[in-house]
Structure 1
Amino acid sequence: MSHPTLKHENPGWPIDGGHRAWLSTFGAWWAMFITFGWVNSLGVFQSYYEQNLLQNYSSSEIAWIASVQQCLTYSAGILLGKVFDDYGPRWLLIVGGSAQVFGLMMTSISTEYYQVFLSQAICSALGASAVMYGTVGSLATWWKARRATAYGIAISGSSIGGVIFPIMVNRLMPRVGFGWTMRAVAFTILVGALIATATIRSNRGHAPTPFKIASYFTPLREMKFAPLCLAMTGQALGMSLELSIYSIVILNAASVFGRIIPGFLADQFGRFNMMMVCTTMSAILTLAVWLPGRSNAASLCFSAFFGFFSGCYISLTPALVVEVSPPSEIGHRTGMLYFCISIGVLAGSPIAGALVEANGGDYTYLKIFAGVTMLNGAMLIGALRFYINYSAKKDVAVLDDGLVNKE
């Protein structure tokens, strides 16, 4: 199935293959492994901090460490995206990788709450964010027809990281203690950062442009970009509600396939179409399997299938941004979209806690709210998809009329 040709598409820069493109994709896999893969594993520290290092602090205070780290990894892109557009990925990868490793090394010697917060939630998060935005922007410059497939392959690294890091931490902590566990994680991330820095390149030129506040509002007036931000924010909220209480390892393992297979199918049948289908399936699973389910079998079934379909949300999001963005603003607009997503991510855990508490410890309200929120996101994606198709057909009709009049 052919995709509608958008005005923003530039046929001059993506080459859709070759060793340089695949090498950048390989580096992107490692970048996603050390950034999103690590961020997806932060829940493993909650119980350790509560029982050991930060036992004098409440669970909610400790939860802010992981929440802020995850939120900042997304939201810092509102500035870092423009850095990519102006200067390319090189310095983002170098400085970002260094900051992430430095932050975790400082966490390994931290003994106070503020030290853990500054090193883990702030320093390492900003570093991970820089690596992520340098990677996501670069990958778009190498691929067009197989763009969603490339993103799916690269972002599957975050799923693998989300499986490996929790197991690694749980195995090392009793044997070598917190300090050396964090150092081992930092050294692992250092290896990934070096590989990413050595292999990721951009396939277009970059030149600094003046910083304008107005540039953050202009895209939000576009009928192709603003609904995308709204839909992705709603989906992020719904999914973060579910991830706040479910087995991260199982979901990450299932999402490995959910990030690669839908990406390949999206290049064949349409990226907006696949996002709409996967988000709808995630909502249906929530309302039809998770909501009434009471047995362990139902929980495992939900974890596996939800992990698969929700993986599409992560892998296709940057591909959708490229669909509705000019090449010179890919980093900037990706950062804007993820900033919106960070609102849903940050709000997820507090809303989940409030819904469970309001229902006397039962998860029914949470399940309903999460399912309906994701269903709304799917409908917005569907409406945006039809609007894009309508606009493309209208542009073609105008072009045809112009050619006829000239004749």
Structure 2
Amino acid sequence: MTQSEVRNEPTTNEKLDDLEELGRKQSESSPPCSESDPMDRGRRAWATAFGCFLVQFCGYGYINSFGVYQDFYTRIYLTNQAPSTISWIGALTSFLAANTTLISGLLYDRGWFYQLMIVGSSLQSLSLFMLSFAKPGQFYFVFMIQGVLSGIGMGLMYGPSMAVISQHFSKRRTLVMSFVASGTPLGAIVHPMMLNHLFHGTVGFTGGVRVSAGFVSALLLIACLSMRTRALTTSKPTASYSVVARKCSREVPFILMTAGITLCQIGFFYPVFYLQLDSIKHGVDVHFSFYSLVILNAAAVIGRCTAGIIASYTGLLNLTIASTFACGALIISMIALSQMSGVIVIAVTYGYVSGVFVSMSVPLVTMLTPNLSELGVRMGFCFGFTAFGSALSGPVSGALLSSQYRWLIPSLFCGIICFVASLIFVVMRLIIYRQR
């Protein structure tokens, strides 16, 4: 099967069938898998999916709860820093979590899955326990521990925990990836509720972070014990970065997909970082505002769980275009946020469409990967570039917001950026179908 034949398939289901055939061809030269561990079913396959779900719950699920830290640092703990400066902590965490896949993707393709999971989970647990020793005003200590150390730990786990799904599932791959990806918004429901109650209760920041660290460490231990690999990518050396890079540089759809995701990421995190602070500054009840991120991420769980089902009817590209455009429209609508009802509407609708959009990223990379032995490296290239969008999102929004809290400018900027990303996906779709 040639690379152009894979890109020119008209439907998602036919694409996944071709990927399944490719996986069977690869397995012919690999050690045979036992009958107790077949594709698309089996205890090991679903246990691995559950472990990957927990990794997303504790990884990007924790990153998406940074709005709680942003609000707490801005108003209480790091009052000597501007909101845009504080947002660099969450932005760097997100950037490193995605950009580290450049390393973890290659190591995954070479059979280092278990080592990546162990080291990554250890770094994340260590960073949270060390964060509990931070004192008010110690910005650089928080920046290095929460921004750098935690980001690297999450990055070592993120890419491999998504790529390993392709070893166990073929026909159900998109559906299972959507289930695994739903761990992120579910984590972003549980973590903000826990952190808000702990920070503003009798426990305080130090005790609250330690409780959170213990909770995350326990779940990551369960995840490491649950996940298993199949002997599909470890039997012989994989292609080098230079070989895969040359392939990707000649694939216009892959380049457009990466550019579209990167641009959308610039605006994507604006509601995640600033919705809670926005609602508080507009006079919405403080206790209710603590639950704004919970509502947003609860809707995102539904969006991620249903994305795979919807994509089987609409196609990955069509659903990506629609969700990206809807994200831009809802971000612009945050200009009118002033009441509790507005917070609820924006949190529910944006949470759902953003959950759908995020669920499409990994299946899109898989769809444009003709050789699954290169999936880890290709994910590293894609997410390595999109990480720059994540890194710019919070600081750029914070700089546009300024200390005067001018909500109009960042809302317009982030919304328009998402519209541009949607247009790029439209061009990508036209090219793919014209090649057919």
Give TM-score, length-normalised by structure 2. Answer: 0.81
The CA deviation at 1:116 is 2.4
Match of 1:122 in 2: 148
Match of 2:295 in 1: 250
The CA deviation at 1:384 is 1.9
Contact 2:87 2:395 in 1 (8 A): no
- Structure 2: distance between partners of 1:364 and 1:54: 25
Give SS of 1:175's match: coil
Match of 2:233 in 1: 205
Contact 2:64 2:272 in 1 (8 A): no
Contact 2:74 2:86 in 1 (8 A): yes
Contact 2:307 2:356 in 1 (8 A): yes
> Which range moves more in the overlay, 331-340 or 8-17?
8-17
CA-based RMSD of the aligned residues comes to 2.6
- Structure 1: distance between partners of 2:139 and 2:346: 36
Contact 1:242 1:367 in 2 (8 A): no
The CA deviation at 1:317 is 0.5
Contact 1:240 1:344 in 2 (8 A): no
The CA deviation at 1:268 is 3.7
> Which range moves more in the overlay, 56-65 or 129-138?
56-65
Give SS of 2:143's match: helix
Q: In the TM superposition, what are the counterparts of 1:175-254 in structure 2 within 5 Å?
A: 175-203=202-230, 204-206=232-234, 207-209=236-238, 212-213=241-242, 215-216=244-245, 218-247=247-276, 248-254=293-299
Letter in 1 for 2:95: C
Contact 1:283 1:375 in 2 (8 A): yes
Q: Does 1:259 align with 2:314?
A: no
Cα distance change, pair 93–285 in 1 and its aligned pair in 2 (3 A) = same
Q: For residues 224-263 of structure 1, give each alpha carbon's deviation from its aligned partner in whole angstroms, at most 9, with x where no partner exists.
A: 2101100101111121233332143221111010101112
Q: For residues 355-381 of structure 1, give each alpha carbon's deviation from its aligned partner in whole angstroms, at most 9, with x where no partner exists.
A: 3459x7443333333222222222222
Give the paired residue count: 390
Contact 2:85 2:395 in 1 (8 A): no
Letter in 2 for 1:98: S
Which consecutive residues of structure 2, in runs of 5 or more, have no partner in the other structure? 1-10, 28-37, 277-292
Q: Does 1:335 align with 2:335?
A: no
Letter in 1 for 2:265: A
The CA deviation at 1:122 is 1.4
Cα distance change, pair 2–108 in 1 and its aligned pair in 2 (3 A) = closer
Q: In the TM superposition, what are the counterparts of 1:3-402 in structure 2 within 5 Å?
A: 3-5=13-15, 10-12=22-24, 15-50=39-74, 53-111=77-135, 112-173=138-199, 174-203=201-230, 204-206=232-234, 207-209=236-238, 212-213=241-242, 215-216=244-245, 218-247=247-276, 248-287=293-332, 289-291=333-335, 295-325=339-369, 326-357=371-402, 361-391=405-435, 393=436
Q: For residues 185-236 of structure 1, give each alpha carbon's deviation from its aligned partner in whole angstroms, at most 9, with x where no partner exists.
A: 1111112211211222233232444754564454133122101100101111
The CA deviation at 1:172 is 2.0
Percent identity over the alignment?
Answer: 26
- Structure 2: distance between partners of 1:294 and 1:21: 47
Match of 2:288 in 1: none
Contact 1:75 1:335 in 2 (8 A): yes
The CA deviation at 1:78 is 1.5
Cα distance change, pair 166–234 in 1 and its aligned pair in 2 (3 A) = same
The CA deviation at 1:90 is 0.9
Contact 1:108 1:179 in 2 (8 A): yes
Cα distance change, pair 176–242 in 1 and its aligned pair in 2 (3 A) = closer
Cα distance change, pair 305–52 in 1 and its aligned pair in 2 (3 A) = closer
Contact 2:84 2:394 in 1 (8 A): no
Give TM-score, length-normalised by structure 1. Answer: 0.87
Letter in 2 for 1:353: G
Give SS of 2:40's match: coil
- Structure 2: distance between partners of 1:2 and 1:330: 17
Cα distance change, pair 115–361 in 1 and its aligned pair in 2 (3 A) = closer
